[in-house]
Each structure stands twice: as structure tokens, then as C-alpha cells.
Chain A
């Protein structure tokens, strides 16, 4: 059972059909456990009170937005090097999910920041690099939308994704540099006491739940994308048979 067995979209769709219900079940289970722990068993912070519970959404979302970009980068390698037919489907469907998680991390972060730091937004190094990440996600999504041919769009986006993956550490490093240079006093740091197990466990459960959520949405989005491409191919075939003469590049999309 190699990755190539699932290069065939039909076989992949069959696998999705089997796996998806289990994934959804696990996702619901972990969310139920994680949310229960986060809201009822986890203690309040002695300084932050109940607002610390925002962390159980915020931190997993921030982790996921990084993971999502690495999955896109791996898929892009799959597109460019091995020309795996589902790699660009995977990368394309991961981008909006990653953007959503990044947005969620930013929004929950600023909602948490208002009571704690007294402001919705700080030009802190971390916040800034996550904001840059959001812009990159949105740029990639726009690139996909503006190009008609999904194959070409996939390759172009793969090049940009990989350049972005090379650049993200550099951006992170330079933003750290920039912030420490300009306003070292107001850098908001989260190093209080080390994380107590009572807080750590709900956080880990929530992180697993978020990962399952990502995989569920990702598989669904990939299924939709394959269907969308099939519809597109069928339409182009119909259009090329109905009009007389060669109708141009009516290549099947898969």
C-alpha cells in the first residue's frame, strides 16, 4: 500500500468514504472531552481568571496553522517532484483551512490580549509573523482562484508555497530581530510558571481534537475538489463535442 495506490482519484474517494466516519467520530469524541476538560476541570489562572480558557482554542489553532503550511509544503514537493495527481488537490484544499486556523489564532489572540495586555493588537514578533502567514495564505488562495487551468495553477502555487516555506524561517528570524531592536521593553512574553499538568492535559486533548478536525475538513475539501474537477472536465467535454471544430485545450483535469 503505497502513496501511489491512491493516485487514482476513485480509489482515493473510496478510502475517504471508509475513513471519514471514523475520523469524524474521533474528532467529536476528542472535542467533547477536550471542551469538558477546558471548561470544567481545568483550574482558573490565579491572575487571568476565566480568560485563560481562551488558550484552549488559541494555542491549538496557532499550532495547526503551522502544521497546515507544512502539509502544503510537502504536497507542493509532491506536485513538483513526483507529479502526484492528488498532491495539488491536497495543497489547494489545505490553504483555506490554514487561513481559517490562522485567522482563528489571530482573533482569539486579540480577544485574549484585550483583557490581559490592555490592547487588541501588539506588534509583537509572534503576532506579526502569524499575520504575515495569513497574508501568504490569502495570496496563495488568490493565485489559485485567478488561474483558470487547475493543473497550471497547482504548479504555480506549489512554487510559491515552497519559496514561502524557505522564507518563513527567515521572516520569523527577521521579525524577532526587528521587534527586539525597536521595543524591547514591551515585548509580551508568556513565560510565567511552567505549565501545570492540570492545564497541559486539556491543552493536549484539544490539540489532538483540532488535528482531527483539520484532517476531517481536509479530506472533505479534497473530495469536493476532485468532484469539482470532474464536473469541470465533463463540462469541457460536453462543450467540445457540441460545438463544431476543435474547441481547444479540453484536456481532462485529472
Chain B
């Protein structure tokens, strides 16, 4: 089992890193969002430090949403997806591996970039570490939930906007607990671990529901 899984992971990772450099584009978009926020709310560093975790989380959410249509679109266009459907491997596992590769290519760079962008937002080291930790745990959930939307809109020509509309309501819990555990580490109205563990739980739930629902949708889309 591990052989084909590794092969699929490496193939997806290589494709998403090389074709169009999606990893870099995602980080650039993240940077652009973070740059734009001070123009909207003003250059007050105290305010930025207060809403910094929220800005980073919203930026990460938007960057993830933008990259999601690449998850299945290219494979569906050139027929690879049909081959994967017919290959007899459990499709849920295929989706999970594809999500893992997609996250490594698009989500992980966001997590790595977050501390750097935190400097722009006047975050102190503790909150920087907290935001990075929550992003590390939370962005896989965004990718996995997004996979549902991506597989539902895979047969559409311009499904990107609809994908975002479908995914955002489902991503609200992740956003809430991501931001509140980062806030908890900074202002500690509640212990950091409580929301953080709930965030971990949400990621694990997404790792179950995401691949199952997404595989079901892909099967329906193909027949």
C-alpha cells in the first residue's frame, strides 16, 4: 500500500510545486492580504497587534480557498482522475493523500510565512508562536474541508467562486477556534490548551469527513 501512496504523494507534490509555482503564489497572496489590512484599519500598531492573529488566520483562509480549485481540476481535465477512480484503490485514501500533498505545497508555506508576516503586524514572540502553532494544526482542516467543495465543483468551468461560498460556512468553526486559541495564548481569558485541543479535534474530524464526502462527490461527478 505504501508504495503507491508514496508515489501519488510525490507526484502531486511535484506537480503542484512545479506547475505555476502554486506554493509561492499562495504565500504572495497571503502577503498581499496582510499588506492591505493596515490600509483598511489604519497603521496603529497596537490595534494591529490586537487583531494580528485574526488577520493572519483570515489571510490563510483566503489563500487556502484560492488554491483549492487546483486540487482536482487539473487531474479531472486530463483524465487522471478517471484513472484514479478506476484503479481500484480506496478513493477516500486517494483523496486524503492528494489533500496531504496539496497541503504540503500550499498550506505549509503559509505556516512558514506566518511568523515573518507577524513582524509586520507587531506581534510579540509568544503570539507569533501561538499563531504559527494554530495555523500548523488548523490549515489541514481548511484543506480537507475545502476538498469537499473542490470535488463538488470539479465538473464546473468556473467553480472557484462557488467553491469559496460553499466552503466558508463549513470553515467557520476552524477559524473561530484558531483565532481564539491564539488569543488565549496572548491575553489568556481561558487556558490556551482548551481551544487548541478543540482545534486539533476539528482537524481530525475534517480528516474523516472530508475524504469520505469528497470521494462520494467525485464518484457521483464521474458517472
Contacts and interface: CB of A to CB of B under 8 A. Distances in A.
Contacts of A164: 169-170
Contact of A143 (B166, B170, B190): B166
B220 interface: yes
A127 to B, nearest CB: 14
Chain A binding surface, main DSSP class: helix
Chain B binding surface, main DSSP class: helix
A126 to B, nearest CB: 15
B180 A132 contact: no
B202 interface: yes
Contacts of B217: 155-156, 159-160
A12 to B, nearest CB: 24
A157 to B, nearest CB: 8
Contacts of B180: 177-178, 181
B93 interface: no
Interface string A116-136: 000000000000000010011
Contacts of A167: 169-170, 173
Interface residues of B, number: 29
Interface size class of A (residues with CB under 8 A): 20 to 34
Given A135-B168, A159-B148, A178 B156 contact: no
A168 to B, nearest CB: 9
B177 A135 contact: no
A224 to B, nearest CB: 24
Contacts of B205: 170
A170 B173 contact: yes
Contacts of B173: 167, 170-171, 173-174
A162 B221 contact: no
Contacts of B216: 80, 159
Interface of B: 148, 152-153, 155-156, 159, 162, 165-166, 168-170, 172-173, 176-177, 180, 183, 189-190, 195, 202, 205, 209, 213, 216-217, 220-221
A-B pairs with lowest CB-CB distance, top 3: A174-B173, A155-B220, A174-B176
Given A159-B152, A174-B176, 13 more contacts: A135-B168, A136-B169, A138-B165, A147-B156, A155-B220, A160-B166, A160-B217, A164-B169, A170-B202, A174-B172, A178-B176, A178-B180, A181-B183
